[in-house]
Structure 1
Amino acid sequence: MAGKVLNKVMGFLGLEDEYEYEEYYEDTDELENSNESAEFEPIIHSNKKQGKVVSIHSTSTPKVSIVKPKTYDEVVDICDDLKDGKIVIVNSIELDPKVGQRLVDFVSGATYSLNGTLEEIEKGIYILSPSNVEVDSELKNQLSSKGMFSWNR
């Protein structure tokens, strides 16, 4: 009985004799003698994530949503617009600074999870773009210099 316990402990620790469990098989010619041949299909595993296929030549233009939230509760609507593939411009200037920071933190996480981008155009004004939209820094400079965001002034 002590031998069995010792063998189990050694097996658990990986210290058992490897040759103890090896079995030798006699060569069989069953497959060679039979008229049937074995067919195998290789199983291919890939660690790559299958990306979402998006048409490059789409004729639809992205929609833009401009939001000036009054409370933190409007963050859900902002994230829903982003999930729908809209470009969202958020003006958080009139919010309490702590509430505005919470809103930006939440929206930042949502944008990241959707593979989008969040960029600050001016102090308190952010542009959230989905993964299929790229915002050029030259465009940001034009928007802020031309006074596009007149609600800030």
Structure 2
Amino acid sequence: MAGFLKNIVNKISGYEEYDVYDEELEPQEDIGYEEEPVDPPSYGRQNPFRARQNRVVDIKTGNGSQVVVLQPADIDTAKAVSNHVRAGRTVICNFEKVDPKVAQRVVDFITGAAFALDGQVSPVSNSIFVIVPRSVSLLQGAGENESALDYLRHVKGTQHG
């Protein structure tokens, strides 16, 4: 009776008994795989720094900084100034021979672009500005703490007054 119940349980659970055969496996054909010979490790005197020599990376001594001098007379040139600052170059803008209204628009554009790029704009004189990217530190003289915006407000106030 136990065998009968065992057969019913096996059929319900999906378990089938298989006959186990003890047969020897036939040798399979060689598929042509060949192992590459491995050189045995040498235990002679080695330079302990030799393994590290391949990890050395050349460091350039110069930082490759460039300074661009422009005389922006229109908005297209102001865009070029912004592209130079984006590329990591310092730009000096000379507005001496530019119409003051155009110069004001260009300076506004450049100041906004420098702000957006985390750069800095600083006046050198009434008509010359320096624009530096975020990777460049701009140090001003001891008595010259006036920011570019303060300078622009001052210039704008003197034009209307």
Structure 1 match to 2:77: 74
Could you tell me which residue of structure 1 aligns to residue 139 of structure 2?
A: 136
* Shift of residue 100, structure 1, vs aligned partner: 0.2
The higher radius of gyration belongs to 2
The ranges of structure 1 where at least 4 consecutive aligned residues each deviate by more than 4 angstroms after the TM superposition are none
State whether structure 2 residue 101 is matched by structure 1 residue 64: no
1:76-99: CA deviations, max 9, x gaps? 111111110000000012111110
1:47 alignment partner in structure 2: none
Q: How does 1:34-49 map to 2 (within 5 A)?
A: none
**Conserved 8 A contact 2:72-2:106:** no
Q: 1:104 to 1:65 in 2, by over 3 A?
A: same
Look up the match of 1:103.
106
Matching of residue 115 in structure 1 with residue 118 in structure 2: yes
Give the whole-Å Cα distance in 1 for the aligned partners of 2:82 and 2:71: 14
Q: Which whole-Å CA distance do the structure 1 matches of 2:62 and 2:68 have between them?
A: 19
Q: Is the 8 A contact 2:91 2:131 kept in 1?
A: yes
Deviation at 1:58, TM superposition (A): 6.6
Residues 61, 99 of structure 1: CA spacing in aligned structure 2 closer, same or farther, 3 A cutoff?
same
SS at match of 2:136: coil
Q: After superposition, give the CA deviation of every residue in 1:25-83 in whole Å (9 maximum; x if it has no partner).
A: xxxxxxxxxxxxxxxxxxxxxxxxxxxxxxxx973131100001233321111111111
RMSD across aligned positions (CA): 2.3
- Report the Cα distance in structure 1 between the residues aligned to 2:94 and 2:71, rounded to whole angstroms: 5
Provide the C-alpha distance between the structure 2 equivalents of 1:64 and 1:133, rounded to a whole number of angstroms: 11
Mapped contact 2:74–2:106 kept (Cα < 8 A): no
2:115 and 2:132 mapped to 1: Cα distance?
Answer: 10
TM-score (norm. length: structure 1): 0.51
Normalising by structure 2, we get a TM-score of 0.48
